[in-house]
Structure 1
């Protein structure tokens, strides 16, 4: 485990010499002391990124040359797959098979953006048709500059990769600030950058607490673009900080995503996808389909089956074979989830199953998969993101009622619909005010497709070619093609 910050291609101690504890959520034990960066370290990192962009080779390399580095990073990640996955488990708590899947996605993401970097060399500049034949105009794409990337704790290395890979492909340089809850694999990305010979200053990694490291990064005047994934309240602060210098900003924020299940659905398949949509990664997923709407005639049957299957989920350490639900990431998050469940019950929700600590787990931030029912549409548990293994279930009367309930939210990240009537599924999918909609499934995520939401779920899109566009400026170049002078004042 790394004990220093990665700045300007070198490992360096924090300016203030501080550290902060990294806790294994399955044992509640401190497993490492991570370097605690402060504003002085952010200054050093941004200066290195600024120098690498303004004076260094990185933005001036061809896309093909940058792609070579991205593929080398992908290969290095694959070579360290088991090690990185185990670090994710120790840091985050998720089951090892899920962590291995995440690391495979990390390598795949770097490989995907290597391909898009190469296309920057081969795609011709866009020619713009003009009304005046004396002029010609084209559009070129250029890297945006220095990027400040702040990422969450639910998919530590993968969420970092969603920003680092396209930014590097575009020719940008970065300062990456991972969550203080899960800093371990982000620092290992620095070791991989060093291993593959990434030019100094192109990728800088500063771990630390939000107020001491995150806030100085968001307000730094030498940063051109802020890319943030996390909660809505923090996203507001990032957006406000960006406004001071009119920085470009992309935000991937929270959700309270609906899953509409019509009565003609296969109950077993519906329950399987409902559970995948809320209990994967302990429900710590921004797109989790945590509001389940079931057509009234099937409501009792689906709810009964869901409760029975949820109660059977095996809970344990992510390193224990057979574990399907690991611990919550931290004591703070664990307490927030329990408090949300308690407020839900106070406001009328009924606990169908779960709701507390498993009887056989006295140590660790373990929480039973929880199903709530009978809450009012104004209830906090129905309307606000809980970010844990808690699903809220309500009946609906008809398609219009389902769409109304689904869209009645300040969020709009994702949604899902299940029915054997595919025409109805397509109709409902288009009616949902969300950036991602799944039909007859929930949560599959592909690097090739755009990711992002409507309303308070964020600004911009990640992944696919849309993710690369986040880090590219659009420049118009217009030429005067005529031999004759132009302008009314020229005689």
Structure 2
């Protein structure tokens, strides 16, 4: 773990194994943090904050830029670690490293753009000044599916704003986050500015949530865990950013380029084996082009190669652990029992002897109230159904309490505007499945959370506004 600038073991000396989901074999072990470790990390962050908050923004920018450069220089090393920990294809892991480097680069610039303002006063003897100050010590909890990008979206804006941070990565992928933390340390961030504690969450989370010195929580994960953290945060009135689950609808209008839409949808759907909160999951295709869409989608999927993500020829790796494999298998079985049709996939591959693999699966005609259409699948399952008219499909797309991402395909500019305006989601893609980048805001509505990561909005989550009424005498 990284606490106060030092790589340390757990206070208990306990460690646990990290498993490669493609081989089911351990790739190493990491410390199991205790309450004492979490307390030490908060202590370090609290002390470091006193200095870091007063470090000038140009210096913060220089060090963040150096973090970005170090990450980029270590792309191959970090990408291999990501693939070993969670199984995604190596090309996807390299893409994540690149995106992570860009996040640090972006917030290096934003550190110098924390602008205040002067509000015109009612008379000439008064000045109304508004400035922005760092929130304080931040705690960041992230999921495993994008282990370094998700954490970078928290570390980079927090540090740019002048905050310090205590990070707890997921237990499935701690090594990649530690690699990023080492880059922060080597880039010259002072001791205690970035701290990482690893292991199962309970001992760490309860300590962090109870400590009044932790002024903000930023969490990426499931809706149930997010709700639990929100309830805990009320006890000490912590600021909260929640990036929670999704069940993204895709609307394919009859005028769309159907083959292009099907290819783009399937490639996005099975990225990281479908284990992406922004993943398209509910595909509503106009009835006049449904057959063509299904055929093109099936053709795309059957060409995908499964295997160990370290093989550059592999298109889709395994699920992250046996629990996800069991949950995906059960969801497919329930869907077929509830009357849906299996187009392709629907089972574990017979040609791969070990690992948590599941074939990319397309299911058609699932009912809107079925398990598949109402529960976030978080796996390699695409649910395709048809629609007849605009009002009908918008009502169906917006029916769930998820509101993270949504997508639509059309060649009509009018229909693109009409659809994107009607969809209840924090992010809408039109003729594209790209949901986020360093310079754009990412986040949801409804039970998919609140707050935004990325863009100029991301740093605002780590700042408090201060108003000064100055009377001139």
TM-score over 0.5 for the alignment? yes
2:7 counterpart residue number: 11
Residues 186-243 of structure 1 show CA distances to partners (whole Å, capped at 9, x for unaligned) of 1112322222221111000000102122333233322100000000011011111111
Query: SS at 1:187's partner residue?
Result: helix
> Per-residue deviation at 1:130?
3.5
| Distance in 2 (alpha carbons) for counterparts of 1:410 and 1:444 | 19
Q: Distance in 2 between matches of 1:79 and 1:419?
A: 40
Per-residue CA deviation, residues 146-199 of structure 1 (Å, 9 max, x unaligned), is 000001100001111010000000000000000001111111123222222211
**What is the match of residue 113 of structure 1?**
107
Q: Does 1:446 align with 2:437?
A: yes
Alignment of structure 1 residues 450-489 onto 2, 5 Å: 450-481=441-472, 483=473
TM-score normalised to structure 2 length: 0.98
| Match in the other structure for 1:42 | 38
Deviation at 1:335, TM superposition (A): 1.3
Quick one: which of 20, 23, 33 aligns to 2:19? 23
Which residue pairs with 1:201 in the alignment?
Answer: 192
CA deviations on 1:371-429 (whole Å, 9 max, x unpaired) are 11121111111011011111111100011111111111110001111011121011110
Matches of 2:119 and 2:380, distance apart in 1: 51
**Structure 2: distance between partners of 1:154 and 1:98:** 11
Residues 45-60 of structure 1 mapped to structure 2, 5 A cutoff: 45-54=41-50, 57-60=51-54
Contact 2:91 2:312 in 1 (8 A): no
Give RMSD over aligned pairs: 1.2
Query: Aligned pair 1:263/2:266, yes or no?
Result: no
Alignment of 1:367-382 (within 5 A): 367-382=358-373
How many angstroms apart in 1 are the aligned matches of 2:135 and 2:323?
36
1:178 corresponds to: 169
CA drift at 1:310: 1.2
**Residue 277, structure 1, aligned to residue 271, structure 2:** no
Instruction: Give 1:55-134 correspondences, 5 Å limit.
Output: 57-120=51-114, 123=115, 125-131=116-122, 133-134=124-125
CA contact (8 A) 1:15 1:37 kept: yes
Given that 2:60 and 2:108 are in contact with CA atoms closer than 8 Å, whether structure 1 keeps it comes out as: yes
* Distance of 2:330 and 2:101 partners within structure 1: 37
In 2: Cα distance, 1:405 partner to 1:449 partner: 27
Whether the aligned pair in 2 keeps the contact of 1:287 and 1:443 (CA below 8 Å) is: no
Match of 2:309 in 1: 318
- After superposing on structure 2, the runs of 4+ consecutive aligned residues of structure 1 that deviate more than 6 Å are none
> 2:29 matched to 1:33?
yes
- Residue from 285, 294, 304 that aligns with 1:294: 285
Q: Which moved more, 1:133-142 or 1:315-324?
A: 133-142
> Which is further off, 186-195 or 363-372?
186-195
Distance 2:171 2:13 in 1: 16
Name the structure 2 match of 1:160.
151
- Where 2:316 maps in the other structure, the secondary structure is coil
Separation in 2 of the partners of 1:354 and 1:179? Answer: 29
Cα-to-partner distance string for 1:38-92 (whole Å, 9 max, x where unaligned): 21110000011011113xx211011110011101111111111100000000001
Instruction: Indicate conservation of the 8 Å contact 1:435/1:453, yes or no.
Output: yes
Tell me which moved more, 183-192 or 251-260. Answer: 183-192
1:337, 1:423 → 2: CA distance?
38
Aligned partners of 1:16, 1:343: CA distance in 2, in Å? 43
Give the length in aligned residue pairs: 473
Is the contact between residue 276 and residue 443 of structure 1 (CA under 8 Å) also seen in structure 2?
A: no
Could you list the runs of 5+ residues in structure 1 that have no partner in the other structure? 484-491
In structure 2, distance between residues paired with 1:336 and 1:129: 59
SS in 2 for 1:102: helix
**Which residue in 2 is equivalent to 1:488?**
none
1:252 maps to what in 2? Answer: 243
Farther-moved stretch of structure 1 (268-277 vs 212-221): 212-221
Q: TM-score of the superposition, structure 1-length normalised? A: 0.94
SS at match of 2:7: strand
State the structure with more CA Rg. Answer: 1
Whether the 8 Å CA contact 1:276–1:442 is kept in 2: the answer is: no
Q: 2:223 aligns to what?
A: 232
